[in-house]
A and B are shown apart, each in its own frame.
Chain A
Amino acid sequence: MNLQENIQRIKSMMGVIKEDDKKTISYSAVVLDHESSELLLNKFNGEIPDGWKKYAHHMTIALGKAVEDETLLGSGQILIVTQIGKSDMVIAVRVEGFPSKNKIPHVTLAVNPEGGKPFMSNKIEEWKDIEPFEITGEVRNIYNI
């Protein structure tokens, strides 16, 4: 038994993972670099209600799926921020520049700790235009922890 099999066995044994959630891809994304993340949070700080959990971490390419073109993994990408949208549960910016399976490609900025989840950005109905600007990140597959 190799190291990873041993770890998997240990985790299963201790009930820390279920048999069916092994090594699955959570989502693929353009993961923002720190500077871009900070830029978004600073620029829209005034729009984020106090106490909301901040993210500004990535733009989802596809949920539950790996990047289709593996050669893009690790590649640097530029996204253009074009709009900001908000609901009572979540606040996000709309982005362009890289294909996404989401109807509205976005980066979730923050969620309401009372029930807000990042995926709710997909349900934001009100978007308003902003002066476009660039953010940068890298294409990655994100695995379940």
Chain B
Amino acid sequence: MNLHENIHRIKEMMGLLTEEEIKQEIPYGIIKFSDNKILVGDMHQTPLELPDEWVEKIVSVANDKGYYGEGIGLKHNKAVTKSNFYHLLNPKKEIGSWDEKLIESGEVPKDKEYVFLYALFSNPKENHRLEKLLNNIDDGDTIFSVLLKTIPDWSADIGKFNLGERELTKFLEEISEQNHNFIEMSKQDATEENLSNFLDVGEKLQWPSTEKNPNLWQQYPHMAGKFARIATTIRDQFLINAGPGVYFVGAGHLKDIVEMPEGKGLKLIGGKNI
């Protein structure tokens, strides 16, 4: 340990770190709801390097009350598996995905279940969506029919809500706008070119480029983005309601949560890079 690290460690022990130093140390944020519930932010697979004080708190709660990953689970999240504390977590206390808990909780009202179809346009490249859709094409399929039979593969409810034709139609209607009619597009033959174009258009509308305006996505200029925003809010809400444990979450959720009325009184610790 060099001098700088030593000074830092002493300051940490004495509670003398400044707000700015904490922000630097916990760049993706933490929310401590109580002695038994902590939300830990991460970002795009960047391994977390948290200060000793927080490692101790997180590991203590996780190994007592259990811990949860996001989406398809912790093992796919290098931010946690390559972190400086993962080796301290008791594997037996890994409960699973909090997204799955949300889906199984019965808390999502029936009329909001279709919102989970937003995931069609989320990270299509990383999830090899085009290839997976192409693998499911039968003769005579349209884009709509391929999407319909593969809903459990790409929808954020992983098939648990039994979403079908009615919900898919509602989703495609509601994300359509002036120059982009997804219902009409979905009637096209399910060729590689048509499917690829369909996914590209959806992704660009849902997550518009921030090159010219870094805050553009937060304004949700398109219906597909608005749709994704609703799903995110439902997930934020679930995290607020959730019981004891450690929840590893995309850092954006943390910022949302402290701004929500239900998050009144909660403090975002760190979070410089959110």
Interface residues, chain A, with chain B CB atoms under 8 Å away: 2-4, 6-7, 10-11, 13-14, 16, 23, 31-35, 53, 55, 57-58, 73-76, 137-138, 140-143, 145
Contacts and interface: CB of A to CB of B under 8 A. Distances in A.
Interface stretch (B4-12, B39-47, B195-203, B259-267): B259-267
B262 A11 contact: no
Interface string B33-63: 1111100000000000000000000000000
Interface SS of B by simple majority: helix
Interface in B225-259: 226-227, 229-230, 233-234, 237-238, 240-245, 256, 259
Contact of B112 (A4, A6, A16): A16
11 contacts: A10-B220, A14-B223, A16-B115, A33-B243, A73-B34, A74-B35, A76-B34, A137-B243, A143-B240, A145-B234, A145-B241
Given A33-B65, A33-B66, 5 more contacts: A6-B219, A33-B244, A55-B106, A58-B243, A138-B36
Nearest to B109: A145
Contacts of B261: 4, 23
A88 B107 CA distance: 23
B191 interface: no
B273 interface: no
Contacts, number: 89
Nearest to A117: B106
A53 B106 contact: yes
Contacts of B35: 74, 76
B189 interface: no
B244 A137 contact: yes
A138 B259 contact: no
A97 B111 CA distance: 37
Contact of B230 (A3, A11, A57, A58): A11
B37 A4 contact: no
Counting chain B residues whose Cβ lies within 8 A of the other chain, the interface size class is 35 or more
Interface of B: 33-37, 65-66, 95, 105-109, 111-112, 115, 174, 218-220, 223, 226-227, 229-230, 233-234, 237-238, 240-245, 256, 259-262
Contacts of B229: 7, 10
B174 A7 contact: no
Given A4-B259, A16-B112, A34-B65, A76 B230 contact: no
Contacts of B243: 31-34, 57-58, 137-138, 140
B259 to A, nearest CB: 6
A142 B241 contact: yes
B53 to A, nearest CB: 20
A35 B111 CA distance: 31
B106 A33 contact: no
A34 B61 CA distance: 12
A58 B242 CA distance: 11
B60 to A, nearest CB: 13
